[in-house]
Amino acid sequence: MQKLTVNAASLVATARARISEVTAAEAIAMAGDCNVVIVDIRDPRERERLGFIPGSVHAPRGMVEFWVDPESPYFKPVFGQEGKRYLFHCASGWRSALTVATLQDMGFEAAHIREGFTGWVAEGGAVEKSEAD
């Protein structure tokens, strides 16, 4: 097996050192704000199995960079809204940290939920089930 020069945990730690993070409790308090867009980057099977944050936008991890780029043929207007705060999450905060770091490199301002959906649930955040993605 090829030895990696940087492991995944180091990538996440580097990303977290330079991005905006909110706790799950803070995210729950922000959930009712019409100026906050919560973006779930988990796999559709995770959302189906575990549920999702009510009102969240689903943007699969593999498409996020393309969906936020207005010059991309895959651009989604939800990511072009002026004055919105974008808050990304995955299951535990690793994928969303990497995602937000990449988006920041692109010039797209966003934050992520440090503890992810797992933290959201542990803090008593609302969860919805049965969505056709």
Sorted by where each begins, the domain ranges of the chain are 9-122
Residue 132 has pLDDT above 70, yes or no: no
Backbone conformation region of residue 87, classed left if phi is above 0, alpha if psi is from -120 to 50, else beta: beta
Whether residue 131 is predicted with pLDDT greater than 80 in this model: the reply is no
The pLDDT value given to residue 130: 75
Q: Which of 97, 40, 102, 37 is nearest to 66 (CA)?
A: 102
Cβ count near 47 (within 10 Å):
20
- In CATH, the number for domain 9-122 is 3.40.250.10
Q: What is the largest CA-CA distance in the chain?
A: 48
% residues pLDDT > 70 (the chain): 98
Which is it for the CA torsion 40, 83, 18, 121, positive or negative? Answer: negative
Q: Which tens digit of pLDDT belongs to each residue from 28-79?
A: 999 999 999 999 999 999 999 999 999 999 999 999 999 999 999 999 999 9
| Contact yes or no for 40/52 (Cβ under 8 A) | yes
Digit-coded pLDDT (tens) for 87-112: 999 999 999 999 999 999 999 999 99
